[in-house]
Amino acid sequence: PRPPPFTPSPAPLAGLLCRWRGEPGWPRPEAQAAGQPVGRRRRAWRRDRPTPRGAMGRGRSNSRSRSRSQGGAAGRSRSHRSDSCSGGDGQRQRKPDDYGVDALKITDDDAAFILGKGGKTKEKIARVSAAEIELFERDLILEIRGSKLQRRRAKKYAEGVMAQRTGPVEVRDDYDDGDLTMLVVPQEAVGFVTGRAGNFLRSIEEEWTTLMFFCEVDGSGGGRRNKSYEKLAIFGSIRGRRGAELKVLSAVETKVPGYYASIKDEVLDRDRGRDETGTWGTDTTTFQDDELSYALGK
């Protein structure tokens, strides 16, 4: 027959429990009789309990290994993101054969003007010229990278922006690199086209990726108020220039009704067929008064 299962008596277990608690005879009857909380002594014993040898070292090593593994994963993700920015096939875009770097020394005031609010002016120059622009504020150097044409355009745009700080911009004959449209604006509409603090022109630049400013042509002097018109220089692609030009003419028409009709042929014939395909042009559609609101929308 099988022996009966072993069942230890309660007395040895009670003694073992007391020794494990660290106090002989715990809990003491006199402590319970005095109403002392036993749990407090238990928590105090746990705080004073010595840490097993090697446990703290293992915790530090485990935390180090976790941080190393997390750091490695983050590093791999960062390198992946930088590779994905190079191009769709994982390779950087091929640079043109005449790729180079030009450095332009500027003043402290010019640096603030080139940078613009939140760096928007510098980004706009780079976007319109398709060049890479870096401004080193400590050394006051404007570095321009790109093809010869891109660098020439970026330098021209930067000089125009800096010239606005001291007065009207002077546009020379050699300013046109196939990226310039000169638009005549009546004097009474100049303020309306510019907008408060130039906000209207800036919004058109943002919409059509252009660079625009009023200018003087070949050093023609005289104050603005002494002339019946101002010339607005619009720099950018052929499509961007036409969109910005029509947006300005729409504003001019509000102040000077019938002005567009007087220069319509000049506007439509400008830049005709000057794109890569040779088919560039502008078509017009005449609306009745009751159709105009539907065409414009809200």
Residue 178's DSSP bridge partners are: none
Pair 32, 38: CB distance under 8 Å: yes
Whole-angstrom CA distances from 260 to 144, 236, 241, 277, 283 are: 39, 22, 16, 28, 15
Q: What is the pLDDT of residue 171?
A: 84
- Give the whole-angstrom CA distance, residue 59 versus residue 68: 14
Residues of the chain with pLDDT under 50: 13-23, 25, 39-48, 55-61, 63-90
Pair 143, 136: CB distance under 8 Å: yes
Q: What is the pLDDT of residue 240?
A: 95
The HSE-up count of residue 99 (CA atoms within 13 Å, CB side) is: 10
Q: What is the pLDDT of residue 150?
A: 94
Helix, strand, or coil (residue 230): strand
Helix axes 108-115, 148-163, angle to 10 degrees: 110
Q: What is the pLDDT of residue 3?
A: 66
Residue 212 backbone dihedrals phi, psi, to 5 degrees:
-135, 140
For the segment 171-211, what is each residue's pLDDT rounded down to a tens digit?
877 788 889 999 999 999 999 999 998 899 999 999 999 99
For the segment 69-92, what is each residue's pLDDT rounded down to a tens digit?
444 444 333 332 223 333 444 456
Q: What is the pLDDT of residue 246?
A: 94
For the segment 155-174, what is each residue's pLDDT rounded down to a tens digit?
999 999 998 888 778 887 77
Pair 180, 233: CB distance under 8 Å: yes
- Give the whole-angstrom CA distance, residue 168 versus residue 223: 10
Residue 232's DSSP bridge partners are: 183, 214
Per-residue b/e over 202-216, b at no fewer than 16 CB within 10 Å?
A: bebbeebbbbbbbbb
Full set of structural domains in the chain with CATH: 97-167 (3.30.1370.10), 169-284 (3.30.1370.10)
pTM to 2 decimal places: 0.65
Q: What is the pLDDT of residue 70?
A: 47
Helix axes 120-129, 148-163, angle to 10 degrees: 140
